[in-house]
Structure 1
Amino acid sequence: MSLRFRLIALVWVVLPVSLAFGSLAAWVNASRSVHVEMHAALQVARQTVQTGVERLQTARDPARYRDDLIASFNGNRHLRVWLVGANGAATLPVTERSPLGAVPAWFVRLIAVEPTTDRVPVVVGDANYGTIAIETDPRNEILEIWNEFAESLIAPVVLCALLILLIYLYIERALRPLGCLAAAMEEVGEGRYRTRIDGRLTPELARLRDSFNRMAARLAEADATNRRLNEQLLTLQDQERSELARDLHDEVSPFLFAINIDAAAASRRLDEGRAAEAGGHIQSIAEAVRHMQRQVRQMLGRLRPIGLAEFGLREAIENMVAFWRRRRPDLRYQVEICADCEDLGELLGTTVCRVVQEALSNAVRHAEPTTVTISVDCRDDLLEDRDAIRVVVADDGRGVCEPTRLGYGLIGVNERVNAVGGRLTFSSQPGKGFAVTAILPYVPVSNPLSPSLASTEP
């Protein structure tokens, strides 16, 4: 059932209950009022008759005075007065009419006031002039109470009808924005994040509208970010495949070809009985295999940090530094790794290595530094109120003018850091170097790296 019809049903329930309590109170008061009114009318009439009988003692014509006394009650609303006897004088109360019609029988039974009769004998000296009977008639009083009761019902019934009409119209108007919101939510659920709600609304619905628009804007931004990251991921994958294909083509394929030639030449020398000459070709094959092993190891290092699974984080970072130290021996490398950070989980350890690998590569290739500093330590993250691993790779090179413009490598590292719940920041001043800082959530693990993940070198 809709909210509108629930409110209308609630009004329909409250109205009969209110009318029932009001009717109960009115019934108690009405019954008491009729009883009191009839009793008072009867007492006044008896007093009047008794006074008239006393005056009758000095009347010249007692019978006529008696009849005049009875006739004086003509037009009384509550009494019927008559002289007891077959042809006695009598007066009847005036029967009033109501614009609302006759009183229902059930209402008369509900008031439950029966007529009451009193008799006053008329005696003058020793002569008996009969008995005057006085009887209450509550019909007019009950009619008056019925009129008041019916009129009192008109106002709440009309008010209730107007209230229901207002509820129907106002709730329909008030809920119309909620219908628009539901439709907008369905559109957002279908992926149309540019949906917005506008128009003038009540303050409560305006806050709901603004919250929805902010949510939709953030979802649109997140969707655009996901699309951009997917494109970057595809670009990085293509770039990585291209680099692997180039290394295989330039570094491995020629040596495989050389091995094939040396093997064929050694085979011919052996068939000709010239074993000494075949040994030279075999030696060339061994050197080619060692070269290919080094190249494959370097390619594996780009795919997964060498030494991380076998020896821990420190060894993996030292291998990266050693790789660049062989190529740039003129630079100074400083590595500081606290003891608590040497055994991290595979995911966290790999993330730390990727941050160091990319930042170190960028520093050596682009920054023109004299010193590159790598530090990994454990400290409190005051911003998130938790333990964290801080990774800093800084150089004293020329820095960058726009540190917000990142290459694909740092963008990928930033997304990797965000994926584990961390954050990556950059700081730079022209001529004073560039620093990459990663704050990663630290969760101690009992079994940091699984031995099954360790790579095996031939």
Structure 2
Amino acid sequence: MAFAPEPAARFRHHRSLRWQVMAAVIAINLCAALIALVVVVANARRATQAEMLSSLAVTERLVQDSIERAVAQGADADTLARLPQHLGTFRHVRLRIESADGRVVDVPANPDGHDPVADDRDEVPGWFAALVTVAHTERAFPVVVDGRTLGQIVVAGEASDEIEEVWEDMSALALLALGVNLAILCALYVVLGRLLMPLRTLSAGLSELEAGRFEHRLPMPNVREFAVIIDRFNALGAALKLARDDNLRLNERLIRVQDDERREIASELHDELGPCVFGLRANLESLGRISAQAEPALARRIGERSATMVEIVDRIQGLNRRLLRRIRPMALGHVPLAAVIADLVADFENHAPDRLFRLTLEGLAERYGDCIDLTVYRCIQETVTNALRHGGARNIAIEARGGDTEIVLVILDDGSGFDPNAARGFGLIGIEERISVLGGAWRIQPSPPRGTRVSITIPISAGETGARTQERASA
């Protein structure tokens, strides 16, 4: 039981090898890009954590120094307000000054006045920032004057600067990798097209072999592996051509042997059986004349027996003539081919007087050689016999046209048609063998509205063409 292929398998079977290789390379690149993203994110997280902790350690010392300088300038209510003057700009951290009651007094900004966190959020995609962001770390440093806590400076780790740097580096690397991969894919597409060209050539060559053109040969490619395949293909074509030529020679020899045997049998029937039958008839007629001298009763009995034997002899003569015509017409090779065909059609008319036959002969030479003449005769004989016996045709048209290089036969009938799935009989098989030996072609097909059309083409060899031309010139 045959199973239908899965949809995925059907999709793969309909994709070319070039596109399958390209798809595999693209899939590998996507997997490599995903792995690279995971590695970049992991490294970025570690680098961001290290940078942020390092910045926090440096900032803590600077914040403590700034608090001491601010307190040293005077311990009053404006101490918290003076702290931003002593604090600079720090990377990877944010400062926040809060009063003792938790109110935010000031948030020191960058010298250009922009909030780095807000700017980074605008430039870095949220999904990437969420992947790289590390745990938030804060430390508070109290501002104590004369034992009284005025407020505190909160130092919080901020990874936005490092995330922005990682994003910029990764974006530039991704663009470079995308450009390189596109260039590689384009080059791979062109290279695969050139490398796989022998496969397309091989496919075309296999189509030639399928059509029976075994002499077709493929050029040797530059790729060693393909060269081995092409070399085997050419060897296969040569072997098939040799086998076909051997088969044609064997078939031709077989047909010639069969024709020779038929010729001998027909000659014996004509030269041996014919005279014997004629002698029987002559003796019966002589016996009839002798019986006239006998007694009336005896003469009557002898006459009845003689008449019966004459009928039998006539039937034997008719059977002999039909056998001769079936095996090999004696006139073939002695009279023009057109006359032999006309005699064949006339014989069909005598045996089927209720059928209508129409014969068209045009451009036929007197003779084309024994093999071609007999093939033409057999083709017409077998196709008309099938039309009468199996198709029940009432009207049969026979057309035979001779040209410079081929003979074309068309037999058209209005019978019941044919079954394409039915097994062919020995007659059609014999026609096919004869036509193939001569290098011809034939086709049987329905003929609308009903009936069958048989088309046969028989090529004429150079020697036979010259002989035919000479015969026409002498005529």
TM-score, normalization by structure 1: 0.50
- 1:315-354 alpha-carbon deviations (Å, 9 max, x no partner): xxxxxxxxxxxxxxxxxxxxxxxxxxxxxxxxxxxxxxxx
- 1:242-278 alpha-carbon deviations (Å, 9 max, x no partner): 2112322343333323323333333433442399xx9
Aligned mates of 2:63, 2:18 — CA distance in 1: 66
3-state SS, counterpart of residue 123 of structure 1:
strand
- Counterpart contact for 2:220–2:231, Cα < 8 Å: no
Partner of 1:42: 56
- 1:376-425 alpha-carbon deviations (Å, 9 max, x no partner): xxxxxxxxxxxxxxxxxxxxxxxxxxxxxxxxxxxxxxxxxxxxxxxxxx
Q: Tell me which amino acid in the other structure corresponds to 1:235.
A: R
Please say if 1:16 is aligned against 2:30.
yes
Alignment of 1:282-301 (within 5 A): none
- Kindly state the Cα deviation for residue 96 of structure 1 after the two structures are TM-superposed: 11
Q: Tell me which amino acid in the other structure corresponds to 2:294.
A: G
Partner of 1:214: 235
- Structure 1 residues 53 and 75 mapped into 2: Cα distance closer, same or farther (>3 Å)? closer
Aligned mates of 1:20, 1:236 — CA distance in 2: 78
- Structure 1 residues 88 and 246 mapped into 2: Cα distance closer, same or farther (>3 Å)? closer
Name the stretch that deviates more: 61-70 or 81-90.
61-70
3-state SS, counterpart of residue 84 of structure 1:
strand
Question: Which of 280, 298, 302 in structure 2 is aligned with 1:259?
Answer: 280
Q: Tell me which amino acid in the other structure corresponds to 1:212.
A: F
Alignment of 1:7-406 (within 5 A): 7-50=21-64, 74-81=88-95, 83-85=97-99, 90=108, 92=110, 95=116, 102-113=123-134, 116-123=137-144, 125-126=146-147, 128=149, 130-273=151-294
Aligned mates of 1:138, 1:198 — CA distance in 2: 65
Aligned mates of 2:236, 2:162 — CA distance in 1: 70
- Counterpart contact for 2:97–2:107, Cα < 8 Å: yes
Name the stretch that deviates more: 118-127 or 47-56.
47-56
Aligned mates of 2:157, 2:43 — CA distance in 1: 19
Q: Tell me which amino acid in the other structure corresponds to 1:140.
A: D
Aligned mates of 1:89, 1:252 — CA distance in 2: 135
Aligned mates of 1:47, 1:199 — CA distance in 2: 79
What are structure 1's unaligned runs of at least 5 residues?
290-295, 297-302, 304-458
Aligned mates of 1:231, 1:73 — CA distance in 2: 111
Aligned mates of 1:87, 1:248 — CA distance in 2: 137
Question: Which of 18, 30, 33 in structure 2 is aligned with 1:4?
Answer: 18
Partner of 1:325: none
3-state SS, counterpart of residue 199 of structure 2:
helix
Partner of 1:345: none
Partner of 1:310: none
Q: Tell me which amino acid in the other structure corresponds to 1:39.
A: L
Q: Tell me which amino acid in the other structure corresponds to 1:81.
A: L
3-state SS, counterpart of residue 216 of structure 2:
coil
- Counterpart contact for 1:119–1:134, Cα < 8 Å: yes
TM-score, normalization by structure 2: 0.49
- Counterpart contact for 2:80–2:151, Cα < 8 Å: no
3-state SS, counterpart of residue 123 of structure 2:
coil
* RMSD, aligned CA: 4.3
- Kindly state the Cα deviation for residue 66 of structure 1 after the two structures are TM-superposed: 9.5
Q: Tell me which amino acid in the other structure corresponds to 2:254.
A: L
- Kindly state the Cα deviation for residue 130 of structure 1 after the two structures are TM-superposed: 4.4
- Structure 1 residues 269 and 48 mapped into 2: Cα distance closer, same or farther (>3 Å)? same
Aligned mates of 2:145, 2:171 — CA distance in 1: 50
- Kindly state the Cα deviation for residue 153 of structure 1 after the two structures are TM-superposed: 1.8
- 1:191-214 alpha-carbon deviations (Å, 9 max, x no partner): 222211114331111111111111
What are structure 2's unaligned runs of at least 5 residues?
1-14, 314-319, 321-326, 328-475
Aligned mates of 2:151, 2:270 — CA distance in 1: 146
- Counterpart contact for 1:8–1:168, Cα < 8 Å: yes
- Counterpart contact for 1:123–1:130, Cα < 8 Å: yes
- Structure 1 residues 97 and 199 mapped into 2: Cα distance closer, same or farther (>3 Å)? farther
Aligned mates of 1:239, 1:15 — CA distance in 2: 75
Aligned mates of 2:198, 2:87 — CA distance in 1: 71
- 1:127-153 alpha-carbon deviations (Å, 9 max, x no partner): 656433323222211111212322332
- Structure 1 residues 56 and 222 mapped into 2: Cα distance closer, same or farther (>3 Å)? same
- Kindly state the Cα deviation for residue 162 of structure 1 after the two structures are TM-superposed: 2.1
- Structure 1 residues 273 and 41 mapped into 2: Cα distance closer, same or farther (>3 Å)? same
- Counterpart contact for 2:93–2:157, Cα < 8 Å: yes
- Counterpart contact for 2:70–2:86, Cα < 8 Å: no
Aligned mates of 2:105, 2:218 — CA distance in 1: 91
3-state SS, counterpart of residue 81 of structure 1:
strand
Aligned mates of 2:73, 2:182 — CA distance in 1: 68
Aligned mates of 1:263, 1:139 — CA distance in 2: 133
